[in-house]
Structure 1
Amino acid sequence: MAKITRITTQKKKKDRFNIFLDFGQGESYGFSVSEDILVQEALHKGMELDDASIKALMEKDDIQKSYTLTIHYLSYRMRSEKEIRDYLNKKETDPEQIEVIIDRLYKEKLLDDQEFANALVRSRVHTSSKGPMMVKKDLMEKGVSAAKAEEALTHYPFEAQYEKAMKFAEKKLRSDGKKSFRQQVQNLQQTLIQKGFTNDVVQEVIANLPQSETEDAEWEAVVYQGEKILRKYERKAEGFELKQKVKGALYRKGFQMDEIQRFIEEYIENE
């Protein structure tokens, strides 16, 4: 048995206390505990502790320290269970202690994968351009089950997906204005799929693109691309051969034949 001879406050951590013990050979430092454990266990001078009690107190304090670190980690934002486990493993927390901490967090309503998933989806809807499939991928990478991820995606309705995808599409069309409309649409479809939007949303967006604004832009794109192609071939070919090379190059870039023919007539025919 050991007897507590002194309890002192640590100099740099006022919420932690050093416990000094006497095993019958004089006083020596025993261990330290948090204020919570000091109060919970009613530790006081003169109290006797056996080896098992000392070991249990030290383990309980280890858990409390890890728990406190976890609460700090949670203070920045909600976390999934996997994130908490990864964090504690990184801190080299004992596996058994991790289970105790996880269980306590659930009981105290500080850990809930469904609420975490719901919150992440709502955040992604307002702060990113990702579609639902990419958001689901994010959730599953954070350890959220497929079922909980699907449930959370109810917070990302079709209307919100369409609005986000259309906003992105309009921006991309403006940046790709020097390409043919067909090529722009192909690029847009591919990009929207890569960003995680479903085919239904993508097709709805494509069907509702502002066609009236594309006619003048399409001709400007034909001229822009056509002049570049013309500069490339005009030193190597002329007449019919030059027209065929320009026509083929513009067609491969997705332009319609009537626009291509118009370009050839206006920019090559009289040369």
Structure 2
Amino acid sequence: MFKISRISVQKKNASRYNIFLTDGERERYGFSVDEDVLVSHRLHKGKQLTDATIALLKEQDDVSKSYHLAIRYLSYRMRTKKEIEDYLKKKEVNPEHIDLVMEQLKQERLIDDLKFAESYIRTKVKTSMKGPLLLKQELIQKGVSEAEVMTAMKEYPKEQQIEQAMKWAQKTFARTGKRSYRMELNRIKAGLMQKGFSKDIISEATRYLSEEQDEKNEWSALVYQGEKLWKKQERKYDGYELKNKVKAGLYRKGFSFDMIEQFVDNYSDYDE
């Protein structure tokens, strides 16, 4: 049996206390506890403690330290249940203590994966051009259930998805005179798919780009690509075979058959 001889506040952490014990003969440092453990167990000078009680106090203090570790981690931003668990595991917290901490955080409503997902989606819609499929993937990686992700997607309605996709497509769509309209459109669609937009949304968003097709730019792009192909293929072919090779190459690059015919006829006359 031991008796608490004195309690002192730690110099570097005012919320932690050093407990000194005496067995009747001499005083020695016993252990330290957080303020909540001190208060909940009503520790005071003169209180007697058994070995079992001291062991219990130390364990509860470990749980308390783990809890405050989680609270500090939460202080920077909202976290998912999985993120907090992974963080505590990284800090080598006892698995049993992690369960106790997570239960306490849940009771205090400090973790809520659905609210996290809703906030995450709202923020990403404002600060990025990511589509719903990519956001869903990111949230699932953070431990949010698929059901909760689907519920949270109400924060990103279809109309807003189309608006975001259109904004990115119009900003990125570049008529440089070097690519066919179809090649540029396919590039935009591939980019939107990588950003996590569905085929339906991509189709709707790029439909308006069709109205911006510029015949002059298309012809410039065809001439640019056609001349490159002609110079490359004439090293191996000539005459009818050369024309067919150039036509096939231009068709694969997305140019219309009529424009290809016009270019090949004009270029072959000029080349001759």
Same fold (TM over 0.5): yes
Give unpaired runs (5+ residues) of structure 1: none
Q: How far apart, in 1, do the equivalents of 2:215 and 2:77 lie?
A: 48
Partner in structure 1 of residue 51 of structure 2: 51
Q: How far apart, in 2, do the equivalents of 1:170 and 1:177 lie?
A: 17
Partner in structure 2 of residue 20 of structure 1: 20
Report the residue type matching 1:256 in the other structure.
S
Q: How far apart, in 2, do the equivalents of 1:129 and 1:219 lie?
A: 32
Residues 135-183 of structure 1: per-residue CA shift (max 9 Å, x gap): 1111111111111110000111011110111122223321776222222
Does residue 1:260 correspond to 2:260, yes or no?
A: yes
State whether residues 178 and 224 of structure 1, in contact with CA within 8 Å, keep that contact through their aligned partners in structure 2.
yes
Partner in structure 2 of residue 186 of structure 1: 186
Q: How far apart, in 2, do the equivalents of 1:268 and 1:160 lie?
A: 50
TM-score (norm 1): 0.91
Report the residue type matching 2:2 in the other structure.
A
Partner in structure 1 of residue 156 of structure 2: 156
Residues 97-152 of structure 1: per-residue CA shift (max 9 Å, x gap): 11221111122221111100111111121122221111111111111111111000
State whether residues 176 and 184 of structure 1, in contact with CA within 8 Å, keep that contact through their aligned partners in structure 2.
no
Partner in structure 2 of residue 215 of structure 1: 215
TM-superposed CA distance for 1:24, in Å, is 4.3
In the superposition, relative to structure 1, how do residues 231 and 23 fare at CA in structure 2: closer, same or farther (>3 Å)? farther
Which sits farther off after the overlay, 150-159 or 135-144?
135-144
Partner in structure 1 of residue 113 of structure 2: 113
Q: How far apart, in 2, do the equivalents of 1:214 and 1:103 lie?
A: 62
The 3-state SS of whatever aligns with 1:109 is coil
How many residue pairs end up in the alignment? 271
Residues 185-244 of structure 1: per-residue CA shift (max 9 Å, x gap): 333333323322122212212322243343222222112211221222334444433322
TM-superposed CA distance for 1:246, in Å, is 1.6
Give unpaired runs (5+ residues) of structure 2: none
Structural RMSD (CA): 2.0
Partner in structure 2 of residue 85 of structure 1: 85
Q: How far apart, in 2, do the equivalents of 1:199 and 1:60 lie?
A: 54
Partner in structure 1 of residue 171 of structure 2: 171
Partner in structure 1 of residue 124 of structure 2: 124
State whether residues 177 and 224 of structure 2, in contact with CA within 8 Å, keep that contact through their aligned partners in structure 1.
no
Partner in structure 2 of residue 94 of structure 1: 94
Q: How far apart, in 2, do the equivalents of 1:99 and 1:50 lie?
A: 27
The 3-state SS of whatever aligns with 1:110 is coil
Report the residue type matching 2:206 in the other structure.
I
The 3-state SS of whatever aligns with 2:7 is strand
TM-score (norm 2): 0.91
Partner in structure 1 of residue 142 of structure 2: 142
The 3-state SS of whatever aligns with 2:8 is strand
Q: How far apart, in 2, do the equivalents of 1:35 and 1:212 lie?
A: 68
State whether residues 134 and 195 of structure 2, in contact with CA within 8 Å, keep that contact through their aligned partners in structure 1.
yes
Partner in structure 2 of residue 195 of structure 1: 195
Q: How far apart, in 1, do the equivalents of 2:60 and 2:187 lie?
A: 58
Q: How far apart, in 1, do the equivalents of 2:68 and 2:128 lie?
A: 32
Report the residue type matching 1:16 in the other structure.
R
Partner in structure 1 of residue 205 of structure 2: 205
